Amino acid sequence: MWVLWAVLLVLTLLLALMLWLPVQLEVEYHRLPGSWGTGLVSVRLLGGLVRVRRRLHVGEQADRAVQTWLANRRRPQDAAAAGLLPSRWRRLASAALPRLLPVVNLRQADLALAVGTGDAASTALAAGALWSLVGGLYGYAVSHVCRRPLHPRLSVRPDFRAATWQLSVDLRCIAQVRPGQIMGALLASAGRLSVKGGVGRERSSHSGAHEDGHGKHQGHG
């Protein structure tokens, strides 16, 4: 009997450790002028013992997304039927995101841009506009996460030697969050959505011939 209790204790400790150890998400994107660029998504679990990496070819992904969108437009009924489940997950994700962002630990956020238009004046204007956009987005991002990165590196460089419009991008971002916090945000959001749905279903089940145009019950004599 004590062996069973020991096994249960070990499993409980392992589960608690898995929920406590942070998940690290690393995103990289590099773009050279004249190309879509390439990306890399890396996820580390259990303190780095498990690592999953996937390279993204942005051009192929964009073409595939366009082809899928065109195919769904030709078959609206099939697209609607196939989109039932993803729409539920999207609603759950949108509801859990405000709860999840404050507990995200942003460890690193590096972004380097180089822009050129072929004209010195317009190149300077484009660099200034990009710098304003990057600064605004960065300020919005760090105001919604738990901790700011220690040494953020953000730069926008005007490329006055470019003969035509050119844009190069180097992005690297690292964020951490604990699985227990993710599960808590998802469960809380799912419970809130189910309560809202239950109220809606209860309201619709009692509506009909017994309600007038303002949703009030009518008496029959």
Q: What is the pLDDT of residues 66-104, one digit of tens each?
A: 667 667 665 555 544 444 445 777 777 777 777 777 788
Specify whether the CB–CB gap between 163 and 118 falls below 8 A: yes
CA distances from 162 to 80, 187, 200 (A): 46, 51, 58
What's 215's DSSP letter? S
- The arithmetic mean of pLDDT across residues 17-40, rounded, is 86
Strands (E) across 8-124 are located at: 23-31, 38-45, 50-57, 105-116
Answer with the residue of higher pLDDT: 85 or 5.
Answer: 5
Q: Is 131 exposed, middle or buried (CB count within 10 Å of its CB: 0-12, 13-18, 19+)?
A: middle
Listed range (154-158, 169-173, 175-179, 212-216) with the worst mean pLDDT: 212-216
Residues 29, 32, 38: CA angle, nearest 5 degrees = 35
Task: Enumerate residues 6+ apart whose C-beta is below 8 A from 207.
Answer: 215
| pLDDT above 90 (res 42) | yes
pLDDT classification of 122: cutoffs 50, 70, 90: very high
> What is the pLDDT at residue 169?
93
Sheet (strand 23-31) strand order? 50-57, 38-45, 23-31, 166-177, 105-116, 153-158
- The arithmetic mean of pLDDT across residues 132-153, rounded, is 76
> What is the pLDDT at residue 80?
46
Q: Which residues of 161-193 are buried (b: 16+ CB within 10 A; e: fewer)?
A: ebeeebbbebbbbbbbbbebbbebbbeebeeeb
Answer with the residue of higher pLDDT: 182 or 150.
Answer: 182
> What is the pLDDT at residue 109?
85
CA distances from 219 to 154, 204, 205, 212 (A): 68, 18, 18, 10
